[in-house]
Structure 1
Amino acid sequence: MGVVALLTISLAAPASAADEQLAPLADPARVAPFPESFTAGDEVLAGVDTHDHGGYSVDAASGRLTIYVVGGRRADSAKRIVQQAALASTANVARSALFEQVRYSAAELARIERDEVWQFSASENLGVVATRLDYRLNKVVVSLDVLTGDARRALRVRFGDAVAVRQEPIGRIYATRYNDPAPHYGGARILLRAPGGGAANACTSGYPATYRLTGVMVTAGHCAALGFAELRTAVTNGALQGEDNCQTVGGCDRQPFGTVWRTGLTTFASVADAQSNPAGLDMALITTQASPKLYVAGDTTSVADIVSFPGASRNIAGTNVCHSGATTVGSCGYTVGSGQVTRVFSVSQGGVTRFGRALVWEALRTSGTGTACPGDSGAPIYQPFGAGVSILGSLTGSAGTAVGNCTAGFIFTYWGSAPAVWPGFLPTITS
Structure 2
Amino acid sequence: MRIVVYPHDLGLGGSQLNAIELGAAVQALGHEVMLFGQPGPLVRRARELGLEFIQAPVPGKRPSPAVVRSLGRLVRERGVDIIHGYEWPPALECLAASKIAGGSAVATVMSMAVAPFIPYSMPLMVGTEQIRRHEEKAGRGMVRLMEPPVDTAANVPDTGAATDEFRERWGLADAAMHVVCVSRLAHELKLEGILAAMDAVADLSRAGDVRLVVVGSGPAEATVRARAERINAGAGRTVVVLTGEIEDPRPAYGIADVVLGMGGSALRGMAFAKPLVVQGEEGFWELLTPESLPTFLWQGWYGAGPGSSGQGSGALTAILARLLDDQGLRIALGSYGRRLVVERFSLEHSAQRQLDLYTEVTGSPQRPPALAPAEATALARYAAYIARRRWLRLRGRAALDDFNSRPVASSPRPAWNPAEVRP
Pick the TM interval, shorter chain: under 0.3
Looking at secondary structure, tell me which structure has more strand per residue.
Answer: 1
Q: Give the TM-score of the pair, scaled to structure 1.
A: 0.25
Looking at secondary structure, tell me which structure has more helix per residue.
Answer: 2
Q: Give the TM-score of the pair, scaled to structure 2.
A: 0.26
